[in-house]
Amino acid sequence: MRILIIDDHQLFIEGIRHVVKRLTPEALVSESNSAEHALGLLEAGATFDLVFLDLKLPQMNGLSVLQRIHDCGIWLPVVVISGEEDLRTIKSALDLGALGFIPKAFSGEQLLTALESILAGNLFVPEALSKKLEGLQARRFEQDGNITRRQKQVLELLAEGYTNRQIAVSLSLTEHTIKAHVSALFIELNAGNRTECVRIAESRGLL
CATH number at residue 191: 1.10.10.10
Q: What is the pLDDT of residues 11-33, one digit of tens each?
A: 889 988 988 888 888 889 999 99
Domain that holds residue 109: 2-134
Same domain, 7 and 79: yes
pTM of model > 0.75: no
| 185 shares a domain with 123 | no
Residues 89-99 pLDDT 10s? 888 888 787 88
pLDDT at residue 146 in the model: 65
Interval 151-202: pLDDT, tens? 888 999 999 999 988 998 888 877 877 887 888 888 778 888 899 999 998 8
The 10s digit of each residue's pLDDT in 111-137 is 888 888 887 777 788 887 877 776 555
Domain match, 158 and 118 both: no
Asked if the structure places residue 139 within a domain, the reply is no
Give the bridge partners for 101, in sequence order: 80
Instruction: Kindly report the CATH number assigned to the domain that includes residue 74.
Output: 3.40.50.2300
